[in-house]
């Protein structure tokens, strides 16, 4: 079960980068990725700046107003809640390994 959670985490994080500067912003995808990257920052604080950079990359050139509007969407909130709840069932060590593996794939 835990290995499956780790695989799901890594797969979700490896999902192709989304360009939110485009006209269509996916609130669910942004919520999932922000949830994952925020959790990674908390379990691996020395790498927090790298996760923050990933979030900035996801958002791209979208305005703060656009991102704020998307973050208020119910789909965003539900996706963020769902992923953080799922990640909460993983041990801190498992999550740290998965997050470290994610960073290794982005270089």
- Per-residue pLDDT, 80: 95
Band of pLDDT at residue 21, cut at 50, 70 and 90: very low
pLDDT average, residue stretch 72-82: 95
Q: What average pLDDT does the structure give for the chain?
A: 80
Answer for the pair 95, 9: CB distance below 8 angstroms, yes or no: yes
Question: Is pLDDT of 17 > 60?
Answer: no
Angle (deg, nearest 10), helices 74-88 and 64-72: 70
DSSP single-letter state for residue 23: S
Residue 22: C-alpha distances to residues 35, 56, 59, 67, 74 (Å): 21, 14, 10, 12, 20
pLDDT average, residue stretch 68-76: 93
- Per-residue pLDDT, 89: 86
Residue 55: C-alpha distances to residues 3, 40, 48, 91 (Å): 25, 12, 11, 23
Question: Is pLDDT of 8 > 80?
Answer: no
Answer for the pair 14, 105: CB distance below 8 angstroms, yes or no: yes
């Amino acid at each position: 079960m835990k290995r499956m959670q780790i695989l799901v985490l890594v797969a979700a994080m490896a999902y192709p980068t989304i360009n939110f500067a485009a006209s269509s912003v996916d609130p669910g995808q942004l919520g999932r990725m922000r949830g994952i990257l925020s959790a990674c920052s908390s379990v691996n604080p020395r790498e927090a700046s790298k996760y923050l950079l990933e979030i900035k990359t996801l958002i791209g050139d979208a305005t703060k107003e656009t991102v704020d509007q998307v973050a208020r969407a119910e789909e965003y909130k539900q996706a963020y809640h769902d992923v953080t709840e799922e990640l909460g069932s993983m041990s801190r060590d498992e999550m740290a390994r998965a997050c470290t593996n994610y960073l290794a794939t982005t270089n």
